């Protein structure tokens, strides 16, 4: 398979993930007031990520050649806040709110001390925020198995796999941005993350289809 064909495939995957980012909130907003608070916060997560993805895409179109790295700041912030609240309502643990406050303080100090981070890639914030969500995911996985819970089993598994894998990719950020590293390495990591994110989105659709496509009062 030629490099051009492979590149076209990954470009298609990138466009597909953006389309699904816009489609998923529409899907989940149908049940925003019908189901649990955890469902509502996950829907908020989908909406916020859709806004970031759309904003980044439009910025590339209207400001061609300009950096879109500042959208990464909003992606991390929205993901950390919304998924933390999602797991707060699943786990019912007060310490999650404390972690949210501490996490926001640490990130605020980091960006105040170095404002240029807003326009640069920040692998430390990415890895820390992702791993916090991964820990919540593991705790909920254990709780689901011990209490035989079925709510958000697919989504929780997808979050665990995607964010853990993504953390490894984000942790390579400084290495990838090194000008002495071949651009093929950077492209490979970006493409792997796109593929993982597509899988994550497909599992979100499966969760909705299996558990929420038909209104079920027991989910209230």
Phi, psi of 92 (to 5 degrees): 60, 40
For 77-113, the pLDDT digits (tens) are 999 999 999 999 999 999 999 999 999 999 999 999 9
Average pLDDT over residues 174-198: 68
Query: In whole angstroms, what is the distance from residue 71 CA to residue 55 CA?
Result: 8
- Looking at residue 183, its pLDDT comes to 55
CATH number for the domain whose boundaries are 3-219:
1.20.1070
Average pLDDT over residues 44-50: 97
Other Cβ atoms closer than 10 A to 142: 10
User: Left (φ > 0), alpha (ψ -120 to 50) or beta: where does 65 sit?
Assistant: left
Which range, 11-15, 33-37, 45-49, 176-180, is most confident? 45-49
CA 154, distance to chain mean position in Å, is: 15
Half-sphere exposure of 63 (CA within 13 A, CB side): 8
Residues with Cβ < 8 Å from 102, sequence gap 6 or more? none
Query: In whole angstroms, what is the distance from residue 210 CA to residue 86 CA?
Result: 19
Query: In whole angstroms, what is the distance from residue 189 CA to residue 187 CA?
Result: 6
- Looking at residue 141, its pLDDT comes to 95
Q: What share of the chain is helix, strand, coil (3-state, %, to 5)?
A: 80, 0, 20
Average pLDDT over residues 166-188: 61
- Looking at residue 181, its pLDDT comes to 53
Query: In whole angstroms, what is the distance from residue 86 CA to residue 109 CA?
Result: 25
In the predicted structure, residue 220 carries a pLDDT above the cut 60: no
Which tokens sit at 142? 């254990």
Domain boundaries, the chain: 3-219
Answer whether 81's CB lies under 8 Å from 132's CB.
no
């Amino acid at each position: 398979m030629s490099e051009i064909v492979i590149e076209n495939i990954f470009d298609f995957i990138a466009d597909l993930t953006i389309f699904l980012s816009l489609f998923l909130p529409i899907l989940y907003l149908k049940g925003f007031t019908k189901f649990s608070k955890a469902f509502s916060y996950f829907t908020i997560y989908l909406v916020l990520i859709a806004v970031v993805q759309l904003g980044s895409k439009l910025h590339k179109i209207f400001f061609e050649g300009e950096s879109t790295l500042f959208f990464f700041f909003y992606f991390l912030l929205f993901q950390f806040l919304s998924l933390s609240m999602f797991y707060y309502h699943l786990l019912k643990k007060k310490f999650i709110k404390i972690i949210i406050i501490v996490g926001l303080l640490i990130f605020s100090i980091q960006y105040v001390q170095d404002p240029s981070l807003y326009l640069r890639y920040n692998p430390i914030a990415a890895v820390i925020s992702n791993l916090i969500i991964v820990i919540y995911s593991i705790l909920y996985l254990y709780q689901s198995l011990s209490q035989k819970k079925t709510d958000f089993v697919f989504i929780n598994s997808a979050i665990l796999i995607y964010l853990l894998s993504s953390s490894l990719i984000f942790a390579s950020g400084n290495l990838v941005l090194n000008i002495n590293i071949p651009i093929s390495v950077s492209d490979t990591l970006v493409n792997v993350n796109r593929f993982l994110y597509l899988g994550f989105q497909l599992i979100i659709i499966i969760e909705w289809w299996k558990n929420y496509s038909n209104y079920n009062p027991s989910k209230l």
